[in-house]
Amino acid sequence: MNASDRASTPDLGTVRMALKLASRAPSVHNTQPWCWMFDGARLQLRSDTDRLLKSADPTGRQLVISCGAVLDHGRLAFLSMGWFAQVTRFPEPDLPGLLATLEFRPWPGALNTAAGRVRAIHRRRTDRLPMLAPDGWHDVLGAVRELARPHHVAVDEIADSSRPRLAAVTEHATALRRYDMDYQTELHWWAGHSEVQEGIPVAALASDAEAARVDAGRTFPSAPYSARRDDLEDKARLVVLSTLGDTPAQWLHTGEALSEVLLECTARGLATCALTHITELAASRSVITDLIPHRDFPQVIVRIGIAPEDTASAPTPRRPLDEVLEVHSS
C-alpha cells in the first residue's frame, strides 16, 4: 500500500475501535452471525453461517437482517471517527456470503443528525418487559420512516384495533412451536445462559408473569420469578418494517433500516424490542401483511415505548473482536 492509500484508509487501530462499537448491534438471539475481513484498504462483511438458526431461520433471512444491523452500526461508527464508508452490497454475486464491501474516504464534516444515533449505540438494549406509551409519537414515527426510506423499507404502525389479532397470531405461532423439538432445542441453546459471550443471558429475559403482560413477544425460556413493572400492561406502539420483495439484498437493507430505527428511538429516550418470530412462519407472516396498508413483505416488528428508569438492564455480552475480525496484509 502506498502513502496515498494509507492517507485515504483508516488504520487498523481505528478499524478495531469502529468494529468494537459496531458489535453492539442487535442480532437474532444475540447470535452475532457476522465476520469482517480487513486487507488494509477495504473492509468486507461476510455472514457466518455456522451461526444460522436452522430451525427458526432456515432461509437465513434473520441472519442477513442481523448482518444489516451491524453494517449500519459500523457505518455510523466509522463516521464518528472521521471516515465515510462507501458501501457496496453483494459485490460478487457468485459469493452470496459476501454481503458488503466498505471503501473509505476521510470525512471532515460534522455528524449532524447522526450524532445522537452514534451516542445511542452504547445505550440501546432489547427490552422485553411491558412499556409505557411513547411521548411525541407522531414525530417519532415520521423520523423513523425517513431514516428507513433510503433503504426502500416501509415503516407502518399496527393500529390498536388490530392488536387482538396480532396477539392471537403470536399465541398461534407459540403453540405451533411448543412441540417442535428442533426449535425448542435451538432456542434453549441460545437463551437463558450466563457467563457466555453470545446468546441471551437470563437477566435479559422476562419471567412468566412479566411476559404475560406483553401481547406480542417471543416465548423464551422463562427467567426466575420476578415482577418488574408489575403495575404496567404493555402500551408500546408496534411498527412493521416491510419490503417490496423478499430477497437477500432486501433483508440486508431491512437490517440497516432496523439499526437506524432502534438507534433513533434510543437517542430519543425510548425503549425498543425487535420481534422476528411472527414473521418466521408463512401463515403468521401473511396475517401481518393484512395489518399493513400495502401488500409488502413484513420482515420485522418493533415494539417502541418508554421504560421506567429503575429497570434499566445491563448490556448483553459480545464476542471478542478477534473472533469476528480477520486482518490480511496487502
Helix (H) or strand (E) holding 264: helix 248-267
Question: pLDDT for 278-310, tens place per residue?
Answer: 899 998 999 999 999 877 999 999 999 999 876
Query: Residue 55 and residue 185: Cα distance in Å, rounded?
Result: 9
Q: Which residues pair with 89 in a beta bridge?
A: 100
Nearest by Cα to 251 from 141, 148, 153, 117 = 153
pLDDT at 199: 93
Question: The pTM is what?
Answer: 0.95
pLDDT at 311: 64
Question: pLDDT for 95-144, tens place per residue?
Answer: 989 999 999 999 887 777 889 999 999 999 999 999 999 999 999 999 99
> Within its chain, how far is the Cα of 135 from the centroid?
23
Question: pLDDT for 134-152, tens place per residue?
Answer: 999 999 999 999 999 999 9
pLDDT at 231: 87
- State yes or no: pLDDT of 225 exceeds 90: no
Q: Among positive and negative, which fits the CA dihedral 169, 305, 148, 38?
A: negative
Residue pair 145/155 in contact by the 8 Å Cβ criterion: yes
- State yes or no: pLDDT of 3 exceeds 50: no
- State yes or no: pLDDT of 194 exceeds 80: no
Which region among 65-79, 134-148, 238-252, 290-304 has the lowest average model confidence (pLDDT)? 290-304
The C-alpha torsion from 250 through 255 and 261 to 266, rounded to 10°, is 180
- State yes or no: pLDDT of 4 exceeds 60: no
Question: pLDDT for 21-37, tens place per residue?
Answer: 999 999 999 999 999 99
Residue pair 71/252 in contact by the 8 Å Cβ criterion: yes
DSSP assignments along 114-178, one per residue: HHHHHHHTTT--B--S--BPPTTHHHHHHHHHHHHGGGT-EEEEPPGGGHHHHHHHHHHHHHHHH
Nearest by Cα to 140 from 311, 306, 299 = 306
